[in-house]
Amino acid sequence: MNVSYKRSKAASKALSYILLIGVLALFTGPLLWMLSTMLKTKAETYKYPPSLFPETVTFEAFERLFTLQPLMWQWIGNSVLISVLVALGTVVSSSLAAYGFARFDNRAKNGLFFIVLITLMIPASVMIVPSFVLYTKLGWIDTWLPLIVPAWLGGAYYIFLFRQFFMTIPRELDEATYLDGGGRFTVYSRIVMPLSKPIIITASIFAFVYSWLDFLGPFLYLKSSENYTLSVGLQFLIGQTSQDFPALAAGAFISILPIGVIYFFAQRYIVEGVVLTGSKG
């Protein structure tokens, strides 16, 4: 009995690893293929059967990429700047609104917060062409304003995130501040925000990452190539050199690099952010 139990346990363990390796291959395989492709010569990418590893490793693809598309650096810069501004704006505006919803006793509060929750359910792409009209009227087409300003005016998702966290901060601390003569904003800036560092980090990483990943917005609103973000720039690149597989792979690699680095250093916060909204939503 003991032997067969052990054997079945070993078998199930082996099966687990086989499945795990299969899942690992699914998730990392395409990324590895990208790495392999970008280090090949152009000719080697037209070979069948394809070679798993480059015959000779070369960085020519990067040279071609940056000669063909000298704007690459600028796109990276644009993406970083936009994403940082989005993250900053998201934290400031959403935490303010969330504080309002978490700490005030107001007749309108519940109704308004319900609207916040409803807008979480609004499909973004239904709004994207109508919003385009708004931006044309504002003269914001081909500027970064449509990408950044909305972030400074609160996002339902982040308001929800902050509110959930603020609710866990004991109100006794507020009362102590009021007794010392502080007002609402003192409580927000001196008590609540300093205690909310984890959620601030999570929200800013999230906002940064989602702004970095955004394609549809920049694709519709940005028209001249020096205003592009990396995502739209990459799409432009596909249209320009659809046959240069190594250069395309190199471009993809560059677009992943910054986020990949953030992920490996800030994995914990990303995980927390998703879990917080997912499990309580």
Partner 1 sequence: MKVSRKWVWIVSLMFVFSMVMMGCGSGDKNNGGNTNQPSETAGEGTKAPEDKVSITYSQWGTAEELQRVQELLDQFMAANPNITVKLEGKDWGSYWDGLTANAAGGTLPDVLKTSYAFIEKYAELGIFKELDGLLGSNSFPLADVDPSLLGLHQYQGKQVSMPIDANVIVFYYNKGLFDNPETNPKGAVYPGMEPTWQEVADIATKMTLDANNKNPGEDGFDKGSIKQWGLSLVPGSTMDWFLEPMLWSNGGKLINDDGTLALDTPEAQEVLNYFIDMTKNSNINTTPAQMEGLGGQANLGITTGKVAMNAGGSWNTTHYKEAGITYGITHLPKFKTTQTVVQPAGVAMSASTKHEAAAYKLLSWLAGSDGQTALAKQGFSIPANKQAASAYLETAGSEFQIFLDAQQYGIVSPFTVKKTDLVWTYGEQVMKNPLAGDGDLAAAIADLASKIQ
Partner 2 sequence: MISSKRLDGWKFLLFIAPWLIGFTIFFLLPFGTAVFYAFTDARLPGSTDFNFIGMSNFSTLMGDPIFGKSVANTIYFVLLGVPIVTTGMLLIALLLNLDVKGIALFRTFYYLPTLVPIVATVIIWRLVFNSEFGVLNGFLGLFGMGKVNWLGGAGMIKPVIILLQIWISGSGVLIFLAALKGVPSHLYEAALIDGASRIRRFFSITLPMISPSILFVLVIQTMYNFQMFTEAMLLSNGGPNYASYTYVFHIYKAAFTDLKFSMAMAQSIILFAMILAVTMFILKASNRFVYYEGEGRG
Rounded CA separation 143/136 (Å):
11
For the beta carbon of residue 10, count every other beta carbon within 10 angstroms.
Answer: 10
- Is 24 a binding residue for partner 2 by CB under 8 A? The answer is yes
Phi-psi region of 154 (alpha: psi -120 to 50; beta: other; left: phi over 0): left
228 near 222, Cβ under 8 Å?
Answer: yes
Angle between helix 60-68 and 245-280 (nearest 10):
90
Do 161 and 277 meet the contact criterion of CB atoms below 8 Å apart?
A: yes
Q: Which of 123, 140, 167, 195 binds partner 2 (CB under 8 A)?
A: 123
CA-CA distance, 233 to 108, in Å (whole number)?
45
Amino acid occupying residue 103: R
Does 265 bind partner 2 (CB under 8 A)? Our answer is: no
Q: Does 239 bind partner 2 (CB under 8 A)?
A: no
Structure tokens at 92: 């400031």
Residue from 2, 49, 70, 172 binding partner 2 (CB under 8 A): 49
Tell me, residue by residue from 139 to 178, as one string, x for binding to partner 1 by CB under 8 A and - for no binding: x-xxxxx--xx--x--------------------------
Nearer to partner 1, 81 or 112 (CB): 81
CA distance 83 to 145: 12
Does 127 help bind partner 2 (rule: CB under 8 A)?
yes
Residue 66 touching partner 1 (CB under 8 A) = no
Residue 68 interaction partner, one of partner 1, partner 2, none, beta carbon < 5-8 Å per kind: partner 1
Amino acid at 44: E
Residue 45 binding partner 2, by CB under 8 A: yes
Examine residue 26 and tell whether it contacts partner 2 (CB under 8 A).
Answer: yes
List C-alpha distances in Å: 160 to 90, 91, 171, 219.
12, 12, 19, 28
**Which amino acid, 136?**
T
Q: Which of 90, 73, 85, 60 is nearest to 258 (CA)?
A: 73
Place of tokens 């690099």: 257
Question: Would you give the distance in Å from CA 101 to the centre of its chain?
Answer: 25
27 binds partner 2 (CB under 8 A): yes
Alpha-carbon Rg of the chain, whole angstroms?
24
Min. distance of Cβ 91 from partner 2 in angstroms? 11
**Applying CB under 8 A, which part among 11-19, 133-141, 158-166, 269-277 lies near partner 1?**
133-141
Least Å from the CB of residue 172 to partner 2: 19
The entry of partner 2, partner 1, none that residue 19 binds, CB within 5 to 8 Å by partner kind: partner 2
Q: Given candidates 69, 83, 196, 255, which one binds partner 2 under the rule CB under 8 A?
A: 255
Nearer to partner 2, 144 or 245 (CB): 245
Give yes or no for residue 132 binding partner 1 (CB under 8 A).
Answer: yes
Residues 229-258 contacting partner 1, CB under 8 A: 235-236, 238-245
Binding site for partner 1 (CB under 8 A): 43, 46, 48, 68-69, 81-82, 85, 89, 92, 132-133, 135-136, 139, 141-145, 148-149, 152, 183-185, 220, 223-225, 227, 235-236, 238-245
